[in-house]
Structures are given as C-alpha cells and as structure tokens.
Amino acid sequence: MRDDLRERIGIALKSAQEEGDKRRCATLRLIQTAVKDREASARDNGKDGVGDSDVIEILQKMISQRVTSADEFETSGQLDLAEQERVEQEIIREFLPVQLTEDEMRTLCEATVKDIEAHGLRDIGRCMSELKSRYPGKMDFVQASCLVKDMLRTEGNGHHQQQGADETPKG
C-alpha cells in the first residue's frame, strides 16, 4: 500500500508516453523527481523512505507553486504560460484524494474547534495539527487555516463582548 500512489504515477507516465502527451510526461517526471529527492533526503536522515502521505504533501506543494506561478504569469500578461501552469495543476490534482468542498471543510473545522475546545488564536496550531491528522490530503490546509483563524478570532471577540469590554449602548 505504501507505494500505491507512486505506482499510479508510474502507470500514468507510461500511458502518457504511449500517447505522446509531452506536457503530461514532463509533469509526471517532475512529480517522480520530487518524490525521489524527498526519498533520498529521508534516507540520508536515517528514515525509511517516504509514504503516500509524504507524496500527497509533495503534490500539494507542487500545486501551490503552480497556482502562484499562474497568477504571476497572468498579471504580467503571459497568458500562455499561465494556462500551462493550470494544465500542470490539473495533472497533479489527479493523484490527490478527492478534496472536500468549502462547506464540508467549514463544517469539519467547526467540529474540530469544538472537539479540542479551542478558544482563541493561540489554539490555531492545535486545530491545524488535528485537522491534518484527521483529514490528510483531503483539504487545502491554507484555506482551512484561514477558516479556523476566523472562527477563533470571532469567538475571541465574543468573549470580549460578553465581558463588557467593547459594549456600546444600542439605540
């Protein structure tokens, strides 16, 4: 099971080669190289290689890089390069678990905040650690972090208002 994701990537690469899809081949080779680099680094540090969760992390980072690049290319008027980055994003996304919708993510973030009894911005790290362990690879953790931060900030403000610090008469 450990090599399942890498095996899928290898099969996809062979298929892309047979079809002559150069963009797909190049992207899949980049993925394989990134995984091999991470594996070599893990072995150098005395670890036993990398598993699917590490590969998912690599893929998410690659997508994030391409989102940033696409935005930069679009801003500078290089629309062909921006489109190329978006095509690569879609190729990489094929290997990630199905991502949760924003509503699903919001519900899970709210549940996690309640489960671990988080009460302020100081608890963001605990919330994110819990989300990452519960839903590895299934959500955009940058977006989740923003949702959790908003929830905890709102909750924190609620406490101040209940204490009377910011009360203003309504009228």
Give per-residue pLDDT as tens, 111-143.
Answer: 999 999 998 889 999 999 999 888 887 888 888
Report the pLDDT averaged over residues 60-85: 94
Output the pLDDT for position 156: 61
Q: Does residue 163 lie in a domain region?
A: no
Q: Copy the structure tokens of residue 54.
A: 């590490």
Do 89 and 106 fall into the same domain?
A: no
Same-domain status, 9 and 90: yes
pTM comes to 0.67
CA angle centred on 65, ends 98 and 29, rounded to 5°: 75
pLDDT at 2 over 90: no
- Residues of the chain above pLDDT 90, percent: 61
Instruction: Indicate if the pLDDT at residue 26 is higher than 50.
Output: yes
Please tell me which residue, 165 or 56, carries the higher pLDDT value.
56
User: Tell me, what's the pLDDT at 140?
Assistant: 81
Same domain, 77 and 113: no
For residue 88, the enclosing domain spans 4-94
**Range with top average pLDDT, 3-7, 56-60, 87-91:** 87-91
Q: Are residues 88 and 17 in the same domain?
A: yes
Cβ-based neighbour number of residue 112 at 10 Å: 21
Task: Give start and end residues of each alpha helix (H) in 76-140.
Answer: 79-93, 102-115, 124-134
pLDDT at 32: 96
Average pLDDT on 79-98 reads 93
pLDDT tens digit string along 151-171?
998 776 544 433 344 444 444
Residue 58 lies in a domain: yes
Q: Does residue 72 sit in the same domain as residue 111? A: no
Q: How many domains does the chain have?
A: 2
Confirm whether 29 is domain-assigned.
yes
Average pLDDT, the chain: 86
Which helix or strand (DSSP H or E) is residue 67 part of? helix 52-75
Whether residues 63 and 143 fall in one domain: no
Residue 164 belongs to a domain = no
Residues 70 and 114 in one domain: no
